[in-house]
Structure 1
Amino acid sequence: MCGRFARRSTQEVLADWFGVEPEDMPWFAPTHNATPQSTQPVVRLNNETGKREFALMRWGFVPYWAKDAKVGYSTINARSEEVAAKPLYREAFKRRRCLIPADAFYEWQRIDSRTKKPFAFGMQSGAPYAFAGLWERCKPKEGDPLETFTILTTDPNELAEPVHNRMPVILEPHDYTRWMDPGDPTRPPTDLLRPYPAEKMRSWAVSMVGGI
């Protein structure tokens, strides 16, 4: 799974990386420890213009038909092998795919029954990257409309496997457009849901989460 990640890049860097005008972005600060249920920037296609835009959403997917937003506590990740068929994610996978900007994600390696050691995973180049995600808008029984997201996961690559049995789906920049384009909803880009090449990544031990 992916339960923590870092986004160190400035808004200017991310605007250039994702092809969005800086003045059109909502304000958000860098973070070294993005946590579940926090509000994070997500890149999606604008429904009216079809252009990329940043939107602030809560991490923890709440389906449009949910009566209680608490379901988002257990949906920070979605297994990529299940999203096409699972009712919870099926419609979002067809029509509401997004990118979650990051510079590193954290996983914990179990040392013994009492000890886990955190590791960070980033790019060899030091560049930002994007997780494959799904987003949704719902109107809970109580409160304002809510937009939420989940991060898709897949099998680990050779770098992540010694630490954890899952890793986030990381997309190549040239695949961003195809991932977000709704295209034919009966044929979503399932081929992109694969482990990222290990040789393009690096990992390092951290003394505490957020200490990258």
Structure 2
Amino acid sequence: MCGRFARRSTQEVLADWFGVEPEDMPFFAPTYNAAPQSTQPVVRPSADTGKPEFALMRWGLVPFWAKDAKVGYSTINARAEEVAAKPLYREAFKKRRCLVPADAFYEWQRIDAKTKRPFAFGMQRGEPYAFAGLWERWKPKEGEALETFTILTTDPNKLAEQVHNRMPVILDPQEYSRWLEPGDPSRPPVDLLRPYPAEKMHSWPVSDRVGNVRNNDLELLTECPPEKQLF
């Protein structure tokens, strides 16, 4: 699964990376410990122009037909093998795909029954990247509409499998347009839902401080040798 990630890139860097004008972006600050139910920026096609735009959404997808928003607590991730058929994600996969900007994601390696060690996963060259995501707009009986998203997961590559049995779906920049464009709803881009090449990534142990959602600082991305972990 993917339950935490970091986005240290500035808005200017992300505007250039995703081809969006900075003045058209909603304000958001870097985060070093994005957690479920937090509000994060995602990239989706503009309803007016079809071009990429940033939107702020809550992490944990609530389908448009849900009776209440509580379902979002269990939908932070969607398994790539299930999105084409599972009612929770089926319509979003056909029509409402998005990109979730990140610079690293965190995963925990189980050492023994009581011990887990956190690792960060980023690109070899340190550039930002994007998870494949889905988004939805849910309208309660009263109040404003809520926009939410989920991150797709797949089998791990050789790097990630040393720590966990799943990893988020990461897309290459040349795949962004195809993932975002509506295309034929009956033929969504299932072929993009595969492990990212391990040789383009690297991982490193980080402090167990990342396990506390109240910690949100750049030091969370600093390499922390196992002997300095505070178990």
Question: TM bucket by the smaller chain?
Answer: over 0.9
Aligned length: 212
Q: Please say which of residues 141-150 and 199-208 is displaced more in the overlay.
A: 141-150
Distance 1:198 1:142 in 2: 47
More helix by share: 2
C-alpha deviation, 1:48, in angstroms:
1.6
| 1:176 match | 176
C-alpha deviation, 1:142, in angstroms:
4.1
SS at match of 1:152: strand
Distance 2:181 2:94 in 1: 10
SS at match of 2:15: helix
SS at match of 1:161: helix
C-alpha deviation, 1:141, in angstroms:
3.2
| 1:31 match | 31
Distance 2:67 2:46 in 1: 26
Distance 1:67 1:77 in 2: 20
Query: What whole-Å deviation, never above 9, does each CA across 1:102-158 have from its counterpart, x for those lacking one?
Result: 000000000000000000000001000000000000102343200000000000000
The one-letter code matched in structure 2 to 1:67 is K
| 2:148 match | 148
Pair 1:163-2:146 in alignment: no
Q: Percent identity?
A: 83
The one-letter code matched in structure 1 to 2:129 is Y
| Structure 2: runs of 5+ lacking an equivalent | 211-215, 222-231
Q: Computing the radius of gyration over CA atoms, which structure comes out larger, 1 or 2?
A: 2
| 1:14 match | 14
Whether the 8 Å contact between 1:37 and 1:59 is mirrored in structure 2 is yes
Pair 1:69-2:69 in alignment: yes
SS at match of 1:37: coil
TM-score by length of 1: 0.99
| 1:122 match | 122
| 1:83 match | 83
Please tell me the root mean square deviation across aligned C-alpha atoms, in Å.
0.7
TM-score by length of 2: 0.91
| 1:60 match | 60
The one-letter code matched in structure 1 to 2:35 is T
